[in-house]
Amino acid sequence: MPPETKPGRVLLVGAGPGAADLMTVRALRAVQGAQALLYDALISEEVLALAPAACLKIQTGKRAGRASMRQETINRLMLRLARRGLTVVRLKGGDPSVFGRVGEEQAFLHAHGIETEVVPGVTAASAAAAQFGFPLTHRGEARRVVLSTARLEAGALQTDWSAAADPQATLAIYMGGAEAAELSRRLIAAGRPARTPVAVVERASCPDARLTRTTLAGLGAAPVGEGPVLIVVGEAAGRAQAAGFDTTAAAFQVSRTARIEA
Check if 175 is active-site. yes
Work out how many domains the chain is built from and give that number. Answer: 2
DSSP string computed for the chain: -PPPPPP-EEEEEE-BSS-GGGS-HHHHHHHHT-SEEEEETT--HHHHTTS-TT-EEEEEE--TTS----HHHHHHHHHHHHHTT--EEEEESB-TTTTS-HHHHHHHHHHTT-EEEEE----HHHHHHHHTT--SSBTTTBSEEEEEE--EETTEE---HHHHT-TTEEEEEET-GGGHHHHHHHHHHTT--TT-EEEEEESTTSTT-EEEEEETTTGGGS---SS-EEEEESGGGGG---TT--GGGSSS---TT-EEE-
Is 83 found in the same domain as 182? Answer: no
For 150, half-sphere exposure in the C-beta direction (CA atoms, 13 angstrom radius) is 23
The active-site residue, picked from 23, 78, 166, 175, is 175
Is 199 found in the same domain as 166? Answer: yes
* CATH number of domain containing 140: 3.30.950.10
> Which residues in 129-145 are b (16+ Cβ under 10 Å) and which e?
bbbbbbebeeeebbeeb
Longest dimension (CA), the chain: 73
The active-site residue, picked from 23, 40, 78, 92, is 40
Residue among 117, 93, 113 nearest 30 (CA) = 117
Check if 69 is active-site. no
The active-site residue, picked from 62, 92, 95, 166, is 62
Is 98 found in the same domain as 170? Answer: no
Is 221 found in the same domain as 164? Answer: yes
Q: Is residue 1 part of a domain?
A: no
User: Along the 262 residues of the chain, how does pLDDT read in single tens digits?
Assistant: 345 789 999 999 999 998 899 999 999 999 999 999 999 998 999 999 999 999 999 999 855 555 678 999 999 999 999 999 999 999 999 999 999 999 999 999 999 999 999 999 999 999 999 999 999 999 988 999 999 887 655 445 556 677 777 889 999 999 888 888 988 998 998 899 999 999 999 999 988 899 999 999 999 888 776 678 999 999 999 999 844 344 433 333 333 334 445 4
Domain boundary among 73, 88, 119: 119
Is 224 found in the same domain as 165? Answer: yes
Domain boundary among 119, 147, 181: 119
Is 232 found in the same domain as 151? Answer: yes
Q: Which domain holds residue 161?
A: 124-261
Q: Is residue 3 part of a domain?
A: no
* CATH number of domain containing 29: 3.40.1010.10
Check if 1 is active-site. no
Is 257 found in the same domain as 169? Answer: yes
pTM: 0.84
